[in-house]
Amino acid sequence: MKIGLVSLGCPKNLVDSEVMLGLAERDGHKLTADASDAEVIVVNTCAFIDKAKQESVDAILEMAQHKKGGACRRLIVTGCLAERYREELKREIPEIDAVLGTGEVPDIVDAIHGNKRAPVAAVAPLVFHGPARTAPARLTHSTHPDLPDPPRPTYIYDADTPRQLATPGHYAYLKIAEGCDYKCAFCIIPTLRGQYRSRRAESVVREAEALAARGVRELLLISQDTTFYGVDRGERGALARLLRDLNAIDGLVWIRLLYLYPTTIDEATLAAMADCDKVCKYIDLPLQHASNAVLKRMKRPGTRQNYDRLLEGIRSRVPGVSLRTTFIVGFPGETEADVDELTRFVNDHAFDHVGVFTYSHEEGTSAHALEDDVPVAEKRARRNRVMSLQKRLAAGRQRRRIGERTHVLVDGPSADHPLVVRARLASQAPEIDAAVYLTECDPSSFGPGTFAEVEIVAARGYDLLARPVL
């Protein structure tokens, strides 16, 4: 049959989508990007915050329309929303034929064939859209006192699991672990993804070798806490050893670490990052806040003072490192003084990349028991305040790069102008960071996945303009 898939949410979810596509293709099915042509449509959902849940519901409703006016015979919903709202989805959207949670990725083939019994209880080239329909009332998780909670997911794929990459061919995400053991007050991920479980290093290396053989030049290592890799198996220093093994793989040029937890970064990992020429000097470190009072209510194991020392140590140990972080504003009980502390922290540490989210009051988290006492408009104002500061700081740093010569990885033609080439520095991750735009060049000479030496000639906000050095 012809299979189409909509993948929503984070890169970790995208890897699950790629595995499902690989399993379907191995079973003899064909993949299509045309919704009206798909006989089976899979929507792999996100449920991290309210906005993500609504986007997932909207996508399900859009794809459900193809059961009426298209070739679609089966609609399958997978991922985090499915894990959290199994019964509710089936009840509210009867067009759904099967619901698979995050631990049921291997069941996709049975679901395609109709053998998976329905439960009683964006860059991807295969993403497509259909006509909208009015969404049902907000999904609310229901429980029954006489029924046990469903078991936590335990599945994680390995090097022998087929994957159909949905990223451009020159870069790929590689999930080195699944789940999370932390109990952050705002986060539902441990419930949706289960306990932390690392893949064996041999499996990760074999998959990386296979990806490099397929033309992947940039490998992005991901998990809920990448620096916790191996600790659950009693393997201290496992991430550092893994980086050194990956650094020896022919064909790979960049190896990038995403989602590092501030309390699990160790000296061995920093040493490997400093020593290994292929490992990007780039650290993605979600700190969430800088006020000790807010961090405590968030149940984050850190303080402003800890973070100051950590950031100073990272920069000392890995010269030239690029730092990305994310923050949450509007958490219950956050005051103007807390936001002042956060802005001072951002100003003091001059992060290369900052993302700021407004707090989402999610059921199933311990923070849900707190009063959501910061008005929505105030949350947005606080976010804008921090982001405006970061924009000014980043603009100054970008202007100071004018005249610099450096190497970039080409992603392909700009979406806005066919004669402009979009590329990235080693300090820029795909999709989430700014980019370098090459002008004064022949785009046909800079195909996706090629590396080029360029000179920075201008700065435009977060982005840089450059010309090739011939």
> In sequence order, what DSSP letters do the residues of 40-78 get, joined into one string?
EEEEEE--SSHHHHHHHHHHHHHHHTHHHHSS--EEEEE
CB neighbour burial string for 246-270, b if at least 16 within 10 angstroms, e if fewer: beebeebbbbbbbbbbbebbeebbb
- Predicted model pTM: 0.90
Nearest residue to 6 via CA among 49, 56, 47, 52: 56
Predicted local distance difference test score (pLDDT) of residue 69: 79
Q: How confident is the model at residue 284 (pLDDT cuts 50, 70, 90)?
A: very high
Q: How confident is the model at residue 25 (pLDDT cuts 50, 70, 90)?
A: very high
Angle at 392 between CA 386 and CA 396, to 5 degrees: 145
| Long-range CB contacts for residues 147-153, cutoff 8 Å, separation at least 24 | 147/121, 150/86, 150/101, 150/121, 152/103, 152/179, 152/190, 152/191, 152/194, 152/195, 153/83, 153/101, 153/102, 153/103, 153/104, 153/178, 153/179, 153/192, 153/193, 153/194
Q: What is the CA radius of gyration of the chain?
A: 22
Q: Which residue has the tokens 């009693």?
A: 234
* pLDDT digit string, tens, across residues 234-253: 998 999 999 999 999 999 99
Which residue type is seen at 407? H
Lowest mean pLDDT among 223-227, 335-339, 412-416: 412-416
Cα gap 276→356, rounded to integer Å? 31
Angle at 103 between CA 98 and CA 106, to 5 degrees: 70
Q: Is the pLDDT of residue 264 over 60?
A: yes
Q: Which residue intervals of the chain bear CATH 2.40.50.140?
A: 405-468
Q: How confident is the model at residue 131 (pLDDT cuts 50, 70, 90)?
A: very low
* pLDDT digit string, tens, across residues 350-372: 999 999 999 999 988 999 999 99
Q: Is the pLDDT of residue 106 over 80?
A: yes
Whether 343 and 385 have beta carbons less than 8 Å apart is answered as yes
* pLDDT digit string, tens, across residues 286-320: 999 999 999 999 999 889 999 999 999 999 999 99
Which CATH topology does 171-399 take?
A: pyruvate-formate lyase- activating enzyme (3.80.30)
User: What proportion of the chain, given as a percentage, has pLDDT over 90?
Assistant: 82
Whether 111 and 82 have beta carbons less than 8 Å apart is answered as no
Q: Is the pLDDT of residue 137 over 50?
A: no
Whether 84 and 64 have beta carbons less than 8 Å apart is answered as no
Predicted local distance difference test score (pLDDT) of residue 135: 46
CB atoms < 10 A from the CB of 451, how many? 15
Whether 41 and 63 have beta carbons less than 8 Å apart is answered as yes
What is the distance, to the nearest Å, from the Cα of residue 4 to the centroid of all Cα atoms in its chain?
Answer: 21
The CATH architecture of the domain made up of 405-468 is: Beta Barrel (2.40)
Residue-averaged pLDDT of the chain: 90
Predicted local distance difference test score (pLDDT) of residue 116: 52
Q: Phi and psi (nearest 5°) for 281?
A: -80, 75
Q: How confident is the model at residue 125 (pLDDT cuts 50, 70, 90)?
A: very low
> In sequence order, what DSSP letters do the residues of 260-311 get, joined into one string?
--TTT--HHHHHHHHH-TTEEEEEE---B-S-HHHHHHHT-S--HHHHHHHH
Which residue type is seen at 97? D
User: What proportion of the chain, given as a percentage, has pLDDT over 70?
Assistant: 92
Tokens of 448: 């996706």
Q: Is the pLDDT of residue 82 over 70?
A: yes
Sheet containing 74-79: give its strands across. Answer: 30-31, 2-7, 40-45, 74-79, 98-100
Predicted local distance difference test score (pLDDT) of residue 265: 93
> In sequence order, what DSSP letters do the residues of 121-171 get, joined into one string?
----TT-------PPPSPP-----TTSPPPPPP-----TTS-----S-TTE
Q: Is the pLDDT of residue 122 over 50?
A: no
Q: Phi and psi (nearest 5°) for 274?
A: -70, -35
Predicted local distance difference test score (pLDDT) of residue 149: 55
SS3 432: coil
Tokens of 47: 């449920």
Q: Which residue intervals of the chain bear CATH 3.80.30.20?
A: 171-399
> In sequence order, what DSSP letters do the residues of 370-404 get, joined into one string?
S---S-HHHHHHHHHHHHHHHHHHHHHHHHTTTT-
Cα gap 77→258, rounded to integer Å? 27
What is the distance, to the nearest Å, from the Cα of residue 87 to the centroid of all Cα atoms in its chain?
Answer: 27
Cα gap 294→269, rounded to integer Å? 28
Q: Which residue intervals of the chain bear CATH 3.40.50.12160?
A: 2-113
Lowest mean pLDDT among 36-45, 144-153, 179-188: 144-153
SS3 444: helix
CA dihedral 240, 246, 252, 255 (to 10 degrees): -20
Predicted local distance difference test score (pLDDT) of residue 140: 53
Cα gap 77→5, rounded to integer Å? 10
Angle at 59 between CA 70 and CA 65, to 5 degrees: 25
* pLDDT digit string, tens, across residues 48-81: 888 889 999 999 999 999 988 779 999 999 999 9
Cα gap 332→361, rounded to integer Å? 9
* pLDDT digit string, tens, across residues 371-422: 999 999 999 999 999 999 999 999 999 999 999 999 999 999 998 888 899 9
Lowest mean pLDDT among 112-116, 206-210, 307-311, 429-433: 112-116
Top CATH class, 2-113:
alpha beta
State the DSSP H helix or E strand holding residue 204, giving kind and residue range, or none if neither: helix 201-213
Tokens of 414: 């700009």
Lowest mean pLDDT among 108-117, 152-161, 349-358: 108-117
